[in-house]
Structure 1
Amino acid sequence: MDFIGAYSGDNLSFIMEGFWTTVWISVVAIILSFVLGLVLGVLRYTRIPGVYHAVAVVVDTIRNLPLLLLIFFAYMVLPQLGIKLGIYWSAILALTVFEGAMISEIVRGGLTSINKGQIEAARSSGLSYMQALLHITLPQALRRMSPPMVSQFISLLKDTSLAVIISLPELMHNVQIVNGQKFAYAIPTMLLAAVLYFTVNYVLSITARRLEAKHI
């Protein structure tokens, strides 16, 4: 093990560049997947004829596909169909679609957990169904969804490492390049990557536990 060589200024800078790429990709994918999951979850909850079944088929299909396949599809298949996104947006698209499908189930479950009598009471007071859903049911459901939602975001951050397969310069990609310089760098750089992943995910885990305790 060569900690001194592995943690040289150039190597640390290169690894941290990969780490910030991981964080950036994760933040963008989290925002987009939350929006997508929220829309899909609401559409499934409202059970609009035709739309409900179409969304259910799409969500169930995506949830049963490996994320790695979606990454390959976004990066290698879409360009052949005339859609060229580049390496970063290919990874973001795959993560967004996959995690959005997962989050949609959390949203649907959260909405279902709210007593439907509240919507009926809101309707009787003059609100439309969508107004009751958006102003009464959804805010309560979002509070209940917070812990599992944060847990899903933790999974998303860890899943960014799968994009190494398309040479996205994220944390694990850059760690592997540093490891290639010298075998003795493997353990020090892997330990550093583990610490970086752990730090971010631990903060998110604490957030999830606090949100869960707040709503018990």
Structure 2
Amino acid sequence: MDFAGAFQWVNIRFLLDGLLLTLQVAVISVILSIIFGVLLGVLRYWKIPILSKVVGWIIDIIRNLPLLLIIFFTYFALPQMGIHLNIFWAAVAALSVFESAMISEIIRGGLESIPPGQAEAGLATGMTKMQIMRYILMPQVFRDTLPSLVSQLIALIKDTSLATIITLPELTHHAKIIYSLNTDYVVPMFVALAALYFIVCYTLSLFSKQLAKRMATNT
């Protein structure tokens, strides 16, 4: 083990470059996952004939597939179907599809936990289903499911490391390059990876706790 050599500035900078790409993939995937996850969760909750069942089947299929298989599909199979994505967007697409399915179930569960009388009261006052969803149901859902949502998003950040299998130059891939050049750097690189992932994920968890407190005080 050579910590001094492994932690030279050139290696640290290389790791930080990988971390930056990891965060870029994660942020875009988080935004897309929340948008599509909420949409899919609402569609299932509304129980629209045929559509909700089809959406439910698709979500169940995706949730029971390995993320690694979805990554392989977006990068290797989609080009065979005429859809060409570079490594970055293939990783984003795979993560977004997988996490959207997970988040949709969290949203649907949150919606179904709210007493139906609230929606009925909204309809009685002349509100539309969209207005009820926006002003009555979703604020409660986000407040109640925030811990589960954050846990899922933290998992997404860690799952970006799986994209190293398609040579996405993210954090894990850069660490792999460094210790492949010198086997004495294996342990130091794993320590560095653990530290960087911990800092990012723990910071997100602290932020979510503060956000949850603010939401609780405002209700």
Task: Calculate the TM-score normalised by the size of structure 1.
Answer: 0.96
- Tell whether the 8 Å contact from 1:179 to 1:186 is kept in structure 2 after alignment: yes
Match of 2:68 in 1: 68
Question: Once the two structures are superposed, what CA deviation does each residue of 1:177-213 show, in whole Å capped at 9, x if it has no partner?
Answer: 0001111111111111110000111112223444556
Question: For the residues of structure 2 that align with 1:129 and 1:198, how far apart are their CA atoms?
Answer: 41
Match of 1:30 in 2: 30
**Mapping of residues 155-194 of structure 1, within 5 Å:** 155-194=155-194
Question: For the residues of structure 2 that align with 1:167 and 1:59, how far apart are their CA atoms?
Answer: 27
Structure 2 counterpart of 1:135, one-letter code: Y
Match of 2:202 in 1: 202
- Tell whether the 8 Å contact from 1:114 to 1:137 is kept in structure 2 after alignment: yes
- Tell whether the 8 Å contact from 1:161 to 1:172 is kept in structure 2 after alignment: yes
Query: How far did 1:110 drift?
Result: 0.8
Is the counterpart of residue 110 in structure 1 residue 144 in structure 2? no
Match of 1:128 in 2: 128
Question: For the residues of structure 2 that align with 1:161 and 1:102, how far apart are their CA atoms?
Answer: 18
Unmatched tracts of structure 2, length 5 or more: none
- Tell whether the 8 Å contact from 1:172 to 1:193 is kept in structure 2 after alignment: yes
- Tell whether the 8 Å contact from 2:33 to 2:99 is kept in structure 1 after alignment: yes
Query: How far did 1:116 drift?
Result: 1.1
Match of 1:15 in 2: 15
Q: What is the DSSP-based 3-state SS (H/G/I as helix, E as strand, rest coil) of the residue aligned with 1:48?
A: coil
Structure 2 counterpart of 1:50, one-letter code: I
Question: For the residues of structure 1 that align with 2:190 and 2:167, how far apart are their CA atoms?
Answer: 18
Question: Once the two structures are superposed, what CA deviation does each residue of 1:26-65 show, in whole Å capped at 9, x if it has no partner?
Answer: 0010000010100000000000101110000000000000
Structure 1 counterpart of 2:81, one-letter code: L
- Tell whether the 8 Å contact from 1:147 to 1:211 is kept in structure 2 after alignment: no
Q: What is the DSSP-based 3-state SS (H/G/I as helix, E as strand, rest coil) of the residue aligned with 1:57?
A: helix
Question: For the residues of structure 2 that align with 1:5 and 1:166, how far apart are their CA atoms?
Answer: 28
- Tell whether the 8 Å contact from 1:2 to 1:188 is kept in structure 2 after alignment: yes
Structure 1 counterpart of 2:186, one-letter code: A
The structure 1 segments of at least 4 consecutive aligned residues displaced by more than 3 Å after TM superposition are 207-216
Question: For the residues of structure 1 that align with 2:41 and 2:216, how far apart are their CA atoms?
Answer: 21
Pairwise CA RMSD of aligned residues? 1.4
- Tell whether the 8 Å contact from 2:143 to 2:212 is kept in structure 1 after alignment: no
Match of 1:54 in 2: 54
Question: For the residues of structure 2 that align with 1:105 and 1:149, how far apart are their CA atoms?
Answer: 10
Unmatched tracts of structure 1, length 5 or more: none
The count of residues paired between Structure 1 and Structure 2 equals 216
Task: Calculate the TM-score normalised by the size of structure 2.
Answer: 0.95
* Identity across matched positions, percent: 48
